[in-house]
């Protein structure tokens, strides 16, 4: 660079020549472009005028001249071309002059570049670009901004009505709005977007109000989906991406939020009807449309819940009204409930994307009708019986393994909706015991699989006892092998009868009434022998014998032929009395056996009044009375060589319910103590709700029962009522 | 409710072995104590008049005699009030200490003075600030056995009538009727007893419009209100 001072006039003259050349180029006149040499000269001139010490430093003057030049260019060349133009023409012209302006600014800035390097910062002045933009804004933009905005919005409106518009033109126009903001989106938002959104809102409001009258719900929803898609395309094609959220919200508001009630409640095509007619696609669409809207899904989930509840309740009532045989009816009921569950679960997963609201709606709906079967048996008992039917031998032999697994899986799922889960556990346990002890279980794998499903659903505590029962059976088999070894090595101890003993761990199994039946000597010997064996294994455990659970194979030496009788131990004890006496009265049997009247009547009935009359009774009536006499019926025969004489079980239902009630009292007691121990001082209502919460996995406690336990705990001096506030309780350590 | 062994009381403390020591408080006391020691003497004498020789306490027989001397029925609530004033621990018995306590407070050292003090005593007991204490006392007073915490229905009915009958006649009558026909509870404990008192004071009767079973009222009262609502409809 040559460093020589330049006179201002001369320097400016040179620069101005370059500017005039630039203008001619911009006008489109045949003017050669700047060579790099020419450019360098211009740059240097500016440099020489600025990189000087005063008084030869003309930075400020040049800076001012820069602005002057631009302003002059705009007012003389650019602005006039806009006047008188409207609508799309205005837009086109604007874009054209904007491009020109940008070129002018770019080149000018190159010439005056040296100012940008030092002077601008030194004086904290706006940079040359900024000056350029400000000039454009002040002299062009401000005048036309409203018209441009309106013109743009009109174009958008046309596109909405289906016309094709020049998207790139719109895009360029909107770029201007953004550029004018100089780094912030304020101009775009305030000068264009705000009104565009308003206009959008008004447009869709009009459309919605007529569509909602004419269209069915599915049709309306389709239109909504399309509109939303189009608006998104609009953003993609020319609007700024920052507009998307606001735009979509506006559209959603006008189309979906405003009319949500009318839409969903449309009589023949609304949500209820869609559910009724299994319109999965439409429901999926409904979900898609409303899931983005805050609280948009609430009414849909509500209608879903009402629908499922109604279906379920109707089902229960229909089956209750039908007059099938009791057992069949209940089986059918459960099957149908499972079907209903599968059906609507599919809706939840497929249409409603497993959304929480719908999962809960389904749950709540099922809870309503699953707990009210309309029969004598509680739903807990029905479900346990249902499982028992599938798991026992002869129950479901026709079904494949997968089908059985699936049914059991669905049955366990239903448990979540039943309040009295602990009652179910107790019924299930009782039936499991019968299956295990009388070898009625069809398939070990299925048994285990159900237990693991129950454990998953209800927690380890729920199934720990049942698992213990299954383990006991396995251990008993091992134990039996050891017993046989023992007998082999102590042949003198052998009782002469094949004996199998199953050892049950008391805590796991349901409680059984102990009995003081007098056994025949042969059996007593068996018991003694086994006791002897057991003592060799452990001295710390006490054996209590439950003969009511045993079975016995007797050889009945009838006149015609010997028949093997498979009976219960108690039945065997009765029959063996007739080995020593030909004829016995009821009271004699009673004395010798030491039974209860209730049990004895049952036993004798099964042997003398039922299908197989092993004993003959005098008088030969259908019921047992205490004055009857019994004899061994030697005339009895049957074409089979081996028959089972069933002994109908005692109805344990009442006892089970009592046991569960008792357990619940303990559970409530423990829950109250647990809560109060932590909280020390707590208000009544909060105490109740925390207890309910704690127990909710197992059962739904009765509020009165909780109150009763609280009072009991006060008497036992675990709690006391607060003196100041009788609704608050204190824990007494 | 503490149940201290009432038989083993310290009787007649021996004086200190030092006859010379004489504190100023002794001197002070001796001046005005002549009158009060005379009173004390009379009170004691009265005690021994009714007391049982061997047990050293006034027993039920003695109380009956006292009552007839005062011309008050021994089942009268005022006798219970007297027991309260004495802070008597065991039902049917007064110890010397309790007797002294009561009669001194009532400023009565003869039977006639004691009789005259009864109306004043009743007024005192019925004052709201005292009545709650009296009410709870009357329950505890009836716990005769060691470790007894509740009272049977029959006795409760009588006690309710005695203690609350005059103040809450209708509530007591209805509640007694309910207690007799219900079978959930065979005994009533202190918490339920106090609950009923609160009930009488707070709940409008017989409409129960402000009764809320969702609060911590004893369950027996929830059931009582339910029973009444069924009865009234």
CA distance A587 to A600: 10
Q: Where are the beta strands (DSSP E) in A506-561?
A: 551-557
The rounded percent of chain A whose pLDDT value lies above 70 is 98
pLDDT over 80 at A55, yes or no? no
Q: Work out the mean pLDDT of chain A and round it to a whole number.
A: 88
Q: How far is B216 from chain A (nearest CA, A)?
A: 5
Of the candidates B189, B191, B219, the beta carbon closest to that of A704 is on B219
Number of CB pairs < 8 Å for A and B? 32
The bridge status of strand A719-721 relative to strand A642-644 is unpaired
pLDDT in tens, B207-229: 888 999 889 999 999 999 999 99
The pLDDT score that the predictor gives to residue B9 is 38
Residue A52: phi and psi, rounded to 5, are -130, 160
User: Do A715 and B191 count as a contact with CB atoms less than 8 A apart?
Assistant: yes
Of the candidates A684, A704, A721, the beta carbon closest to that of B191 is on A721
Residues of chain B with C-beta less than 8 angstroms from the C-beta of A676: none
Of the candidates B191, B198, B214, the beta carbon closest to that of A714 is on B191
The bridge status of strand A562-568 relative to strand A642-644 is parallel
Of the candidates A710, A711, A726, the beta carbon closest to that of B198 is on A726
Q: In chain A, whose CA is at the least distance from the CA of B223? A: A704
Minimum mean pLDDT among A68-77, A263-272, B10-19: which range?
Answer: B10-19
List C-alpha distances in Å: A360 to A14, A396, A453, B227: 82, 33, 21, 38
Interface of chain B toward chain A, CB-CB under 8 angstroms: 149-150, 189, 191-192, 195, 198, 214-216, 218-219, 222
User: Do A715 and B222 count as a contact with CB atoms less than 8 A apart?
Assistant: no
| Mean pLDDT value of segment A433-462 | 86
Higher-scoring residue by pLDDT: A1, B23:
B23
Interface test with B, best of A668, A672, A721 (most B CBs within 10 A): A721
Residues of chain A with C-beta less than 8 angstroms from the C-beta of B185: none
pLDDT in tens, A548-593: 888 899 998 999 899 999 999 999 999 999 998 889 999 999 999 8
The pLDDT score that the predictor gives to residue A323 is 56
Of the candidates A711, A721, A727, the beta carbon closest to that of B219 is on A711
Q: In chain A, whose CA is at the least distance from the CA of B213? A: A704
Kindly report the number of other CB atoms within 10 A of residue A44's CB atom: 17
Q: Does the CB of A705 have a partner CB in chain B at under 8 Å?
A: no
pLDDT over 60 at A3, yes or no? no
pLDDT over 90 at A192, yes or no? yes
pLDDT in tens, A237-269: 999 999 999 999 999 999 999 999 989 988 888
Torsion over CA: A660, A662, A664, A670 (sign): negative
Of the candidates B191, B198, B214, the beta carbon closest to that of A711 is on B191
The pLDDT score that the predictor gives to residue B22 is 53
Torsion over CA: A614, A617, A620, A625 (sign): negative
Q: Does the CB of A729 have a partner CB in chain B at under 8 Å?
A: yes
The rounded percent of chain A whose pLDDT value lies above 90 is 44
Q: How far is B78 from chain A (nearest CA, A)?
A: 27
Q: Does the CB of A727 have a partner CB in chain B at under 8 Å?
A: yes
Residue A567: phi and psi, rounded to 5, are -135, 175
Which residues partner with A642 through β-bridges?
Answer: A564
pLDDT over 90 at A40, yes or no? no
Residue B27 pLDDT grade (very low, low, confident, very high; cuts 50, 70, 90): low
Q: Does the CB of A704 have a partner CB in chain B at under 8 Å?
A: yes
| Mean pLDDT value of segment B174-199 | 93
The pLDDT score that the predictor gives to residue A29 is 80
- Rounded (5°) CA angle A318-A321-A327: 95
pLDDT in tens, A372-417: 776 667 888 889 988 998 888 877 667 788 888 898 999 999 998 9
pLDDT over 80 at B31, yes or no? no
pLDDT over 90 at A308, yes or no? yes
Of the candidates B149, B198, B219, the beta carbon closest to that of A707 is on B219
User: Do B218 and A684 count as a contact with CB atoms less than 8 A apart?
Assistant: no
User: Do B215 and A707 count as a contact with CB atoms less than 8 A apart?
Assistant: no
Is the backbone peptide bond immediately before A369 cis, with ω within 30 degrees of 0? no
User: Do A715 and B189 count as a contact with CB atoms less than 8 A apart?
Assistant: yes
Q: What distance separates the 2 farthest-apart alpha carbons in chain B? A: 82
Q: Does the CB of A707 have a partner CB in chain B at under 8 Å?
A: yes
Q: How far is B131 from chain A (nearest CA, A)?
A: 16
Q: Which two tokens stand for residue B66?
A: 């006292």
CA distance A465 to A460: 9
Minimum mean pLDDT among A605-619, B16-30, B101-115: which range?
Answer: B16-30
CA distance A605 to A596: 14
Q: Does the CB of A684 have a partner CB in chain B at under 8 Å?
A: yes
The pLDDT score that the predictor gives to residue B13 is 43
Q: In chain A, whose CA is at the least distance from the CA of B190? A: A715
Structure pTM?
Answer: 0.72
Residues of chain B with C-beta less than 8 angstroms from the C-beta of A726: 195, 198, 216
Residues of chain B with C-beta less than 8 angstroms from the C-beta of A710: 216
pLDDT over 70 at B25, yes or no? no
Contacts within 8 Å (CB) and 24+ apart, A115-123 = A115/A46, A115/A50, A115/A59, A115/A62, A115/A63, A115/A66, A118/A50, A119/A50, A119/A59, A119/A60, A119/A63, A120/A63, A123/A60
CA distance A378 to A620: 39
Highest mean pLDDT among A102-116, A279-293, A486-500: A279-293
pLDDT over 60 at B18, yes or no? no
The pLDDT score that the predictor gives to residue A28 is 80
- Rounded (5°) CA angle B152-B157-B163: 120
pLDDT over 70 at A176, yes or no? yes
pLDDT over 70 at B161, yes or no? yes
pLDDT in tens, A588-635: 999 998 888 888 999 999 999 888 898 999 888 888 888 889 999 889
Interface test with A, best of B190, B216, B224 (most A CBs within 10 A): B216
SS (H, E, C) A436-464: HHCCCECCHHHHHHHHHHHHHHHCHHHHH
Q: Does the CB of A710 have a partner CB in chain B at under 8 Å?
A: yes
The pLDDT score that the predictor gives to residue A444 is 82
pLDDT over 70 at B21, yes or no? no
The pLDDT score that the predictor gives to residue A17 is 87
Residue B20 pLDDT grade (very low, low, confident, very high; cuts 50, 70, 90): low
Q: Which two tokens stand for residue A566?
A: 């498979």
Residue A62: phi and psi, rounded to 5, are -65, -40
């Amino acid at each position: 660079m040559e460093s020589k001072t330049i006179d201002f006039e001369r320097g400016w003259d040179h620069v101005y020549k370059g500017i005039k050349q630039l203008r001619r180029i911009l006008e489109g006149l045949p003017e050669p472009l700047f060579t790099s040499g020419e450019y360098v000269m211009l740059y240097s001139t500016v440099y020489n005028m600025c990189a000087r010490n005063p008084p030869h430093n003309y930075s400020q003057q040049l800076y001012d001249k820069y602005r002057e030049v631009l302003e002059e260019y705009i007012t003389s060349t650019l602005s006039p071309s806009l006047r008188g133009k409207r609508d799309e023409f205005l837009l086109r012209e604007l874009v054209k002059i904007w491009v020109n302006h940008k070129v002018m600014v770019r080149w000018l800035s190159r010439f005056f570049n040296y100012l940008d390097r030092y002077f601008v910062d030194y004086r904290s002045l706006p940079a040359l670009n900024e000056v350029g933009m400000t000039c454009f804004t002040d002299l062009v933009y401000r005048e036309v901004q409203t018209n441009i905005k309106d013109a743009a919005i009109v174009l958008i409106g046309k596109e909405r009505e289906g016309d094709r518009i020049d998207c790139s033109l719109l895009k360029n126009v909107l770029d201007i709005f953004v550029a004018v903001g100089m780094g912030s989106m304020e101009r775009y938002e305030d000068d264009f977007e705000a009104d565009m959104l308003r206009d959008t809102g008004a447009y869709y409001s009009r459309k919605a109000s007529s569509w909602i009258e004419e269209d069915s719900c599915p049709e309306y929803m389709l239109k909504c989906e399309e509109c939303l898609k189009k608006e998104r395309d609009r953003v993609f094609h020319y609007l700024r991406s920052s507009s998307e959220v606001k735009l979509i919200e506006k559209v959603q508001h006008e189309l979906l939020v405003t009319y949500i009630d009318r839409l969903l409640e449309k009589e023949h095509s609304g949500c209820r009807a869609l559910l009724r007619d299994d319109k999965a696609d439409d429901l999926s669409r409904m979900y898609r449309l409303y899931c983005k809207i805050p609280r948009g899904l609430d009414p849909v989930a509500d209608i879903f819940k009402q629908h499922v509840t109604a279906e379920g309740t109707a089902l229960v009532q229909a089956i209750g009204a039908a007059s099938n045989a009791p057992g069949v009816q209940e089986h059918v009921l459960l099957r149908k409930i499972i079907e209903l569950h599968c059906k609507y679960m599919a809706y939840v997963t497929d249409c409603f994307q497993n959304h929480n609201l719908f999962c809960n709606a389904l749950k709540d709906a099922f809870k309503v009708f699953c707990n009210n079967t309309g029969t004598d048996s509680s739903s807990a008992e029905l479900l346990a019986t249902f499982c028992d039917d599938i798991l026992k031998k002869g129950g479901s032999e026709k079904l494949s393994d997968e089908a059985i697994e699936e049914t059991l899986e669905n049955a366990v799922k239903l448990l979540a909706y039943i309040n009295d889960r602990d009652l179910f556990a107790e019924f299930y346990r009782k039936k499991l015991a019968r299956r295990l002890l009388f070898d009625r279980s069809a398939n070990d794998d299925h048994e285990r699989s159900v237990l693991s499903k129950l454990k998953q659903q209800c927690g380890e505590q729920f199934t720990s006892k049942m698992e213990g029962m299954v383990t006991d059976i396995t251990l008993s088999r091992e134990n039996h092998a050891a017993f046989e070894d023992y007998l082999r090595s102590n042949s003198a101890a052998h009782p002469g009868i094949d004996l199998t003993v199953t050892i049950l761990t008391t805590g796991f199994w349901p409680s059984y009434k102990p009995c003081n039946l007098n056994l025949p000597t042969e059996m007593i010997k068996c018991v003694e022998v086994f006791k002897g064996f057991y003592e060799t294994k452990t001295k710390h455990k006490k054996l209590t014998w439950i003969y009511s659970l045993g079975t016995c194979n007797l050889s009945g030496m009838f006149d015609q032929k010997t028949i093997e009788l498979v009976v219960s131990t108690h039945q065997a004890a009765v029959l063996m009395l007739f080995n020593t006496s030909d004829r016995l009265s009821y009271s004699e049997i009673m004395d010798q056996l030491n039974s209860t009247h209730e049990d004895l009547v049952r036993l004798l009935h099964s042997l003398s009044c039922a299908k197989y009359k092993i004993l003959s009774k005098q008088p030969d009536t259908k019921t047992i009375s205490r004055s009857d006499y019994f004899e061994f019926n030697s005339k009895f025969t049957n074409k089979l060589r081996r028959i089972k004489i069933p002994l109908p079980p005692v109805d344990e239902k009442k006892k089970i319910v009592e046991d569960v009630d008792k357990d619940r009292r303990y559970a409530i007691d423990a829950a109250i103590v647990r809560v109060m121990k932590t909280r020390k001082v707590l208000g009544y209502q909060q105490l109740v709700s925390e207890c309910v919460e704690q127990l909710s996995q197992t059962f739904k406690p009765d509020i009165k029962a909780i109150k009763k336990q609280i009072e009991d705990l006060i008497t036992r001096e675990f709690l006391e009522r607060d003196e100041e506030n009788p609704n608050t309780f204190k824990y007494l350590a | 409710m503490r149940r201290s062994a009432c038989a083993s009381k310290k009787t007649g403390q021996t004086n200190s072995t030092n006859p010379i020591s004489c504190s100023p408080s002794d001197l002070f006391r001796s001046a005005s104590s002549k009158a009060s020691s005379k009173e004390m003497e009379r009170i004691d004498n009265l005690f021994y008049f009714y007391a049982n020789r061997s047990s050293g306490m006034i027993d039920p027989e003695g109380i009956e005699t006292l009552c007839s001397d005062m011309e008050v029925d021994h089942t009268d609530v005022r006798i219970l009030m007297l027991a309260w004033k004495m802070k008597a621990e065991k039902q049917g018995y007064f110890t010397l200490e309790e007797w002294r306590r009561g009669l001194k407070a009532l400023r009565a050292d003869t039977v006639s003075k004691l009789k005259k003090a009864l109306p004043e005593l009743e007024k005192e007991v019925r004052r709201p600030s005292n009545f709650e204490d009296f009410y709870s006392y009357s329950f505890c007073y009836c716990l005769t056995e060691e470790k007894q915490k509740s009272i049977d229905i029959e006795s409760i009915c009588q006690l309710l009538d005695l203690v609350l009958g005059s103040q809450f006649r209708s509530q007591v009558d209805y509640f007694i009727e309910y207690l007799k026909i219900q079978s959930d509870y065979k005994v009533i404990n202190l918490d339920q007893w106090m609950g009923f008192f609160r009930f009488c004071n707070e709940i409008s009767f017989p409409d129960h419009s402000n009764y809320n079973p969702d609060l911590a009222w004893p369950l027996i009262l929830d059931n009582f209100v339910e029973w009444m609502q069924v009865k009234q409809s």
